[in-house]
Structure 1
């Protein structure tokens, strides 16, 4: 599977139709089972779930997850996505994340993603994002703002200048459906055990 390079944002790639409609439906069902969504206002308001290593941005630390604290490692439905890109996407075949979070954005609730950088030290060099439920336009900004279409069921890879020199965010009006869910994968750098 060959990536589509986004010329206006160096280091940004997409794999359109990375998953099928049936796979998308099963992923959304897995995410919605068990009522694990929690309200987040960290980078704009949305509902969120997270798995894997635990990053504490205030303490500048990353530690393994603890089952005793109710934390959860990457579940099998996320590991299946990782296996798929390892086997089909040469550009990220060596990327093995240890952290993931899902965000659910509902347009009627005014959800959005504020312009931000994922932590440029603790969150690693690559971000991989799977888009579910609806298309959106994500704004990448350095000096100028560039709106990039992120199609539903696509896998987006953020590396290099796109990762370290551009903020990214999504305005409310740039969600092209009632609900969009994203799953972001990272390889966080463990700072403690």
Structure 2
């Protein structure tokens, strides 16, 4: 069997051939703060429910969670439509589908390639997102589906999503199972903030959580198969008033046809 892991990223396949796993859950020196959506704070090893928290807390702005954003029936329908399209092997035991422009992040080059729009089913999701105060002006230009599986040891290392092309808000619909999105920052060494990602919930990462903290998913927190439907908006450079706004408008006109097919292997992992 082969895998798509490159650089420091690993999965059980390449680890069985001697590659060392860099990121894991074995660091006992980390103080784990559990995020509470109600008070928007992280609580050190928090074991109690809001509002009965005890112990040390830290402010953690930049997270919005809407539980039960889709119903069980909608979840089943969306998942069925996603699985009608073949996945491409990705790194760290994941599989992916991309609906977006082809981006070379290192060279800061972007082109439409085979991009023909976001998938049809996401139009209803986007219409519903616009009814949320935090997303009233959210215009997605890229959509990525990532499948996580415990059998493949799926995870994602802590990282920043690109700032050159992707904008302020990262929006993810979490399907099929619960998991945990964790955050780390060089400004807060030995601190990890764990944010719950509930099944059928929508999570928006923005502000400090977007640009000050790296986010990732531990292998141990993928208990069952999970689908992440992530939508991204354009950065100010590609938006109205930006120096690449004409290029951005072309991309948005394509994206919002909602007639897209997965574009296959691209460099859109981040």
Deviation at 1:136, TM superposition (A): 0.3
Alignment of 1:30-49 (within 5 A): 30-35=81-86, 37-41=87-91, 44-49=92-97
- 1:65-119 CA-to-partner distances (Å, cap 9, x unmatched) read 34xx4x3310111121111111x31111111111110100111111111111101
Q: CA deviation at 1:53?
A: 2.6
- For residues 34-63 of structure 1, the C-alpha deviation after alignment (integer angstroms, 9 at most, x for no partner) is 32x00011xx33000011333221221233
**Could you say which residue in structure 2 is the equivalent of 1:184?**
230
How big is the shift at 1:26? 0.7
**TM-superposed deviation, 1:172:** 1.0
SS in 2 for 1:124: strand
Q: Deviations over 1:123-153 (max 9, x none)?
A: 1111101100100011111211111111010
How many residue pairs end up in the alignment? 182
- Greater percentage in strand: 1
2:77 to 8, 21, 26: 26
Structure 1 residue 154: deviation in Å? Answer: 0.5
Cα deviation for residue 5 of structure 1 reads: 6.4
Distance in 2, Cα, partners of 1:140 & 1:119: 16
**Structure of greater Rg:** 2
- Residue 200 of structure 2 is aligned with which of 126, 143, 153? 153
Aligned match of 1:172: 219
- CA–CA separation in structure 1 for the residues paired with 2:41 and 2:168: 19
- Counterparts of residues 114-133 of structure 1 (less than 5 Å): 114-133=157-176
Q: Residues of 1 paired with 2:167 and 2:202: CA distance?
A: 18
Larger RCO: 1 or 2 (CA < 8 Å, sep 6+): 1
Structure 1 partner of 2:183: 140
Unaligned runs of 5+ in 2: 1-36, 43-59, 239-243, 251-270
| Alignment partner, residue 266 of structure 2 | none
Runs of 4+ in 1 over 3 A off after TM superposition: 3-6, 189-193
Secondary structure in 2 matching 1:125: strand
Q: What TM-score comes out, normalization by structure 1 length?
A: 0.87
Q: Distance in 2 between matches of 1:120 and 1:40?
A: 21
**Aligned position for 1:7:** 41
- Root mean square deviation of aligned Cα: 1.8
Question: Matched residues in 2 for 1:166 and 1:97: separation?
Answer: 22
Q: CA deviation at 1:29?
A: 0.5
Measure the CA separation in 2 of the matches of 1:155 and 1:4.
15
Q: Which residue of 2 aligns with 1:106?
A: 149
Gaps of 5+ in 1: none
Once the 2 structures are TM-superposed, how far is the Cα of residue 122 of structure 1 from its aligned partner?
A: 1.6
Question: What's the secondary structure of 1:187's corresponding residue?
Answer: strand
Q: Deviation of residue 175 (structure 1)?
A: 1.6
Match of 2:49 in 1: none
